[in-house]
Amino acid sequence: MIAIVDYGVGNIFSLVSSFSRIGADIRLTGDPEEIRSAEKVILPGVGACRDAAEKLKDTGLGNVVKEQAAAGKPLLGICLGMQMLFDRSFEYGEYEGLGLIRGDVVSMEPVVPAGFHVPQIGWNALHFPKDKPKNELFRNTEEGDFVYFVHTYYGTNCDDSVIATTDYGAELTAAVADGNVYGVQFHPEKSGEVGLRILKAFCEL
């Protein structure tokens, strides 16, 4: 069973539907014991880091997620869920993340050239680092495959963990991994067949 952590921040319906399409055994839950009993964990999220950080803290689910990651359970953060994996976010202040991926989350506005709309909303290509093997999360994904992004902030100071980037006038982090912890900035549940193949690869880890 795969537990999708329900902490009040996330586009849950699309994500549940996507996992159902690939035949995954999923459970949307905010119950710590159900999360502990799962084989894998998904941390979704849309919106602002401050709200997500507060809800993870108030529900106690942030500690459960960290506990399960420390136990070696595969964990996938999606969009804001990925950003919550980092040490810190500087979205309208400074907020502490879960500390599962070393690095910071910052605005793309200073690095994206004039003429590029911020937030980035729409389809963009994935590129894989040439100096390391393709990560297993992308075993079914090809260089240049398009996925769907909606974000203003991105992960930085995380070169060792970067497993995919995207070019939006500047090279931006599209996905990270550190051991059993994975994060994607894009929305696989909105990325058609490419996204479904990525979710399927996670299920097979």
Q: What is the pLDDT of residues 87-112, one digit of tens each?
A: 999 998 898 999 999 999 999 999 99
Angle between helices 61-70 and 49-59 (to 10 degrees): 80
pLDDT at 53: 84
Kindly indicate the confidence band of residue 154, based on its pLDDT and cuts at 50, 70 and 90. very high
How far from chain centre, in Å, is Cα 162? 12
pTM for this prediction = 0.96
CA distance 102 to 86: 6
Map out the domains of the chain with their CATH numbers: 2-203 (3.40.50.880)
pLDDT at 11: 63
Spatial neighbors of 15 by CB under 8 A, at least 6 apart, are: 4, 42, 44, 78, 189
pLDDT at 50: 80
Q: Any idea which residue has 């999220």 for tokens? A: 45
* Phi-psi group of 181: left, alpha or beta (phi > 0 → left; psi -120 to 50 → alpha; rest → beta): beta
The pLDDT of 37-58, averaged and rounded, is 89
Catalytic residues: 79, 187, 189
The pLDDT of 166-189, averaged and rounded, is 98
Kindly indicate the confidence band of residue 47, based on its pLDDT and cuts at 50, 70 and 90. confident
Distances (CA, A) of 6 to 41, 175, 202: 11, 22, 19
pLDDT at 51: 85
pLDDT at 10: 66
